[in-house]
Amino acid sequence: VPAYEQGQRCGLIAIVGKPNVGKSTLMNALVGQKISITSRKAQTTRHRITGIATREATQFVFVDTPGFQTQHSTALNKSLNKTVMGAISDVDLILFVVEAGNFTLADAKVLSLFKPGIPTLLLANKLDQIHRRADLAPWLKSMQERHPFTEFVPMSAKKRDDIQRLFGICEKYLPEQGWFYGPDELTDRSEKFLVTETVREKLFRFTGDELPYTSTVVLDKFSEEKSKEHKRFMRIAVTIVVERDGHKAMVIGDKGERLKRISTEARQELERLMDAKVFLEVWVKVRSGWADDEARVRSFGYE
Ligand code: GDP
Ligand code: K
Ligand code: MG
């Protein structure tokens, strides 16, 4: 921790909510770079991911979390929920993200986890999908009766102005203290983590709903070589782990087309994010029942 400097502010802000409300999209917009993968599917985010934004004297340390799972109690889901609970226990501010105008049982379940004492903003996201703003007023009122939210922030994670406004709102909840990270740091996650997450994002995006959420990506090889042009050259190999032979066929696709698309798009994105030339091999392996095997879940990198 750097020495305290006069006027510095710094604090932790947890981004919490049910799956698919836009938590990771929001964090990436706040950090100004893709730190956390996103897709239309639940369980895209499986880890606590820190995203850092330093603006003038204030350092905002955002913590993106998995969507809280209420459906099945597998070993993987228990681990995801533990991650959420850990992330909300010791923060300065909670952004409780919901879809504007929408509040379901799954949202209520997340809300019930919050302990009193931590300021909590109701962040009503995807406002761009609401066509008549007037419809929102009664909904906001009902939300007010539900929980003592400190503030309401109807917005869209996809609108730049809303993101700027959100910084101003969050700032006043952060204590005066020295920064936790350097001014240019964007995340606490490593490049190795970025690799498996990027492949998993493409996997989630390019397979239909038929591919169950119980697939993951593990890193087999990550090495850097010096190339003649002085650009970094990375040799990377990963394995996509699925639960059944049928899922493996689904990932590989007709004549290997889908696997090729997944690896090409992942490689291109990694080259951009790591500013390097990347050689990427992607394998597919079946490990039946891994998501309900605590030891396996841990060995694949979940807490
Ligand atoms: P998470 O599961 O809560 O982390 O949600 P993601 O960030 O992965 O987003 C889920 C889906 O919602 C993605 O398809 C996003 O593009 C979409 N999304 C996120 N924020 C907004 C928003 O403000 N407006 C609209 N229309 N879509 C959004
Ligand atoms: K998602
Ligand atoms: Mg997410």
- Radius of gyration, alpha carbons of the chain: 20
81 annotated as belonging to a binding site for a ligand:
no
**Domains of the chain (ranges, CATH numbers):** 9-171 (3.40.50.300), 191-299 (3.30.300.20)
67 annotated as belonging to a binding site for a ligand:
yes
Tell me how many degrees the CA angle 124-125-127 measures, rounded to the nearest 5.
95
Residues near 38 by beta carbon (within 8 Å), at least 6 away in sequence: 24, 25, 28, 44, 201
Q: How far is CA 4 from CA 13, 158, 172, 176, 205, in A?
A: 20, 35, 18, 9, 44
Q: Which ligand is nearest to the CA of 45?
A: 3
Virtual CA dihedral for 197, 199, 205, 210, nearest 10 degrees? -100
Supply the ipTM of this predicted assembly: 0.99
Residue 58 Cβ inside 6 Å of ligand 1? The answer reads no
| Per-residue model confidence as pLDDT tens for the chain (303 residues) | 455 567 899 999 999 999 999 999 999 999 999 999 999 988 898 988 999 999 999 999 999 999 888 777 788 888 888 888 888 888 999 999 999 999 999 999 999 888 888 999 999 999 999 998 888 999 999 999 999 999 999 999 999 999 999 999 999 999 999 999 999 999 999 999 999 999 999 999 999 877 767 899 999 999 998 777 778 999 999 999 999 999 999 999 999 999 999 999 999 999 999 999 999 999 999 998 888 888 888 888 887
Q: Which ligand is nearest to the CA of 28?
A: 1
64 annotated as belonging to a binding site for a ligand:
yes
